[in-house]
Structure formats: C-alpha cells, structure tokens
Amino acid sequence: MQTSLYSLIFGTKNSIKLPMSLTPDLLIKNVIPVTDKKKGGSVTDIRIKRGKITEIGKGLENRKGEKVFDGENAFISPGWMDMHVHFREPGQEHKETIETGCRAAVFGGFTEVACMPNTTPPIHTRDVVEFIKKKSADLPVEVHPIGCVTKERKGKSITEMGDMQEGGAVAFSDDGDPVYDSQVMRVALEYSSMLDMPIINHEEDLSLSLPGHMHEGEVSTKLGLEGTPSVAEEVMIARDLLLAQFTGGHIHVAHISTKGAVELVRRAKKDGVRVTTEVCPHHFDLTDEEIEKRHFDTNAKMHPPLRSQQDVEAMIEGLVDGTIDAICTDHAPHAIEEKEVEFIYAPNGIIGLETAWSISVMRLLEPGFLELNNLIDKLAYQPRKILNLEIPEIREGATANLTIFNTDEKWTFHKSEVRSKSKNSPYLGDLLTGRALAVYNKNQFVLNTLKS
C-alpha cells in the first residue's frame, strides 16, 4: 500500500492538519470517478496543484516535487457532506470540539458538515456563527453553522436570520427541540424563504413524546419503559408541511424515522410542497429490539428512537424512491460518564461520522437497494442542493474537494479507530465493510490510516 509511503514522507500518520505551506502538489493514481450520474467506469489519474484539479487522464507521469497516492482502483467522488452534526463547541468541549469533530468527519470521508446550534451559547447571533467559521478555517473540513430559529432556542422570538446568513449560516434550526409554536414557525418559514434558506425542524410533539425513553411499541411494553409513539413525530411533520404549503417556505424534516412520516413527506412532495428530508444510518439499520438485545445499552438510545422493523423498511423505501433526499449522521457525542448511567437517565444520541459510509454500504449498496451513484447522490449532492451550496466537481480547473473510498474493505470499528472525542457508538467492535481512504479539501490531503 502507498499509505505507509505517504506517512513516511510526511511523518504525520494521524495528524489531520497540514500547514498550508506543506500542502503537496499531488498525483492521485488509479481511481474510478463516481458522480450522482455515473456509478463507475474506467480507472484514471488526477493531478492536483495548489488545491485545483489540473489534469485528469490515464497514465499521468509523476512530476518533480509532486507526491503520489495510488488509489489501487478505489473510487473517487466529490467530497461528502453531512448536513446534521453536533460539534458541541462552544460550551461542551469535553464531548467534542470543532477540531475533534472534523477529525471524525475526515475519517468518515466527509469534507463538509453543517453543525447544529444547540451549543452554549447557542448559534443564535452572527458572532457565534463567525466564531465557528474562524475556528474551522484551517481544518480540512468546511464547517457550515446552522443558526437558531429562535433566540436562546427558547421558541419565542425569531433570530436575526439575515445577519447570520451574512456571517455564513446555511440554514436555521432549534434542533434538539422542536419549534413548538405554530405562529413562530409560520414567521420563520416566511423570513427564511426570503433568504432562500430552509428551516430544519426537530419533529417532535413533546406533549405526546415525553418522557419517552424509547420507541413506543411491543418492545417498550415488554421492557416496561415509557415510549415515544410514532405519531409524536408525525403530528409535528403534518403541521410543518401545512405551514410550508401555506407560506411557500422550505421545510427540511430532520432525522426522519417513522413509516407514517415518510408517507407524509411523499404525499407533500407530490403536492408540490417545498419539503426535503434526511435519514440517519442507525434508522435504516437498527430497530428498538437492540435495547433488549444489548441489555439496555445506552448507545441504543437516541432521539428519535430506534423504531420497528417496518419503519426501517420504510426508510429504505424512502431512500430508493427519492422521498428521503439525504443521508446524515446526527453525530451526537456524549462523554462516557454521561452515557454510563441507567438507561432512562442517559442522554440521547450517538456518534455517527466514522461509520456512516460502512452502514450505508452494508444496508443499502450490498443488498442492491441503491446503486453507487445513488448513494453518492445522497451523501455528496443532495445535502448541498438542500442548503444551496456549491457542489464540488471532478473536472480540470475545478477546486479539489474529493473523497477516495472503497466498498469492499473489511475492517473492525475498534475503539481505537474512533476519531471523535466521545466513544458513544453502537457499532464499536463491529466488523464493517467499506471505508473512506482519504480526503482532499481546502488544499489539504488527509489519509485515513487504520490504527489497529
């Protein structure tokens, strides 16, 4: 493998940040380009000079001063984007920082992320938006802040949306909590549509869901835990679809998880409502039975909760027919001491950036539900379309923003492979298939070397 060669040259086996001056001109050999339309084809080489793709073709010669990475027939696509992560900074740096979050993103193949504003202070003013942009400026990942819909995330009065947009915010959300007040949601949709930005709502009617420790169904009854019914999610989505239709605003349904919710979005799309949605890998992979199987492992606790088998199937159907636009992780780091408590007291959420690709390969690609180009569409194209961001291209003259990956490598997700500051994943110790080998973005080439 050329990986060790690269490490030798730079001696930075696990570092994610190369000073700009050290960024090499790079020749990527033997990769197969994949786009939203093209699921593979012939092997080619790609030359990158000062952050731009300068040449694409077969058998390119290595030039003086240029480093070489041999992809050995791996795939290459526009860099992936996760439009729903929690990086915890400012305020909860013991769980994650922008830098450690970006390290996890790179390991997962993501070159861009959008981070949710439930930080302390929340991302509810332009200066917090700018703080995040500044903090991430030198990192190989583009971090796009999502601003709050309401001041302090209190659900009462709308934030200065235009000001935050000018600072770099790409959407608005009070995620972690729903925008509860319908009048506030109406105004939010009206304002954000003037700015051509979506409102991303955490769809949960708290009067139906609380205290809800897991999905309400047979398993919760058996375990004697209070559950969150599917209808708690669906009621809120139905309201938001009506308000989006009424205002002409763009509603983005966060982390969709129920069969009924997918059906609501499917119908609304047919009716021309401006709605988009996203799903997390754990919601198309795991069911509420995990909580019993894993003996109340708190890494099976998240919001929305793991649902039933028919919900899992509905997520896959929604991805296949395009009702579900994008795959996101809802990467939600929590410290060990916070998660190592009784199930009902544990905070919601799991990390997801490091495993999203493998779970997608194993649950969607290998069984043949999605072709490779469809999967890349959900990971690289749709998130940027939803957020009106530029989509990177693989062509001569384009800025290099790329992910190099395979679909067949078997590797174990040992704890030592976790790049996030927190380790709360239900996939720890699992044998996975498919891995992101490297990314190139913002003039930086970062290689993902397995530690074990």
* Contact footprint for Zn ion (CB under 5 A): 175, 202
Rounded to whole angstroms, how far apart are CA atoms 233 and 262?
11
Q: How many CA atoms lie within 13 A of 154 on its CB side?
A: 6
- In sequence order, which residues have a C-beta less than 8 Å from that of residue 285 and are 6 or more positions away? 312, 359, 362, 363
- Residue type, position 357, single letter: W
Rounded to whole angstroms, how far apart are CA atoms 281 and 284?
5
Helices (H), 172-278: 182-194, 206-209, 218-223, 230-247, 259-270
Rounded to whole angstroms, how far apart are CA atoms 399 and 51?
6
Minimum distance from CB of 256 to Zn ion (Å)? Answer: 11
Q: How far is CA 232 from CA 189, 196, 237, in A?
A: 21, 28, 9
Rounded to whole angstroms, how far apart are CA atoms 444 and 426?
31
Rounded to whole angstroms, how far apart are CA atoms 391 and 375?
15
Collapse the DSSP code of 359 into the 3-class scheme (helix H, G, I; strand E, B; otherwise coil) and give the result: helix
- In sequence order, which residues have a C-beta less than 8 Å from that of residue 142 and are 6 or more positions away? 111, 112, 113, 136, 401, 441, 442
Lookup: tokens for 446: 């970062």
Collapse the DSSP code of 113 into the 3-class scheme (helix H, G, I; strand E, B; otherwise coil) and give the result: strand
- Residue type, position 258, single letter: T
Q: Which residue is closest to Zn ion by CB?
A: 202
Q: How many CA atoms lie within 13 A of 411 on its CB side?
A: 25
User: Cβ closer to Zn ion: 51 or 229?
Assistant: 229
List active site positions. Answer: 330
Report the relative pairing of strands 444-447 and 402-412 from DSSP bridges. Answer: unpaired
Rounded to whole angstroms, how far apart are CA atoms 171 and 391?
17
Supply φ then ψ for residue 157, to 5 degrees. Answer: -120, 145
Angle between helices 309-321 and 259-270 (to 10 degrees): 20
The shares of helix, strand and coil residues in the chain, as percent rounded to the nearest 5, are 35, 20, 45
Nearest to 302 by CA among 253, 348, 344, 256: 348
Residue matched to tokens 């972690």: 176
Q: How far is CA 348 from CA 42, 116, 202, 298, in A?
A: 44, 15, 13, 8
Helices (H), 225-354: 230-247, 259-270, 289-293, 309-321, 336-339
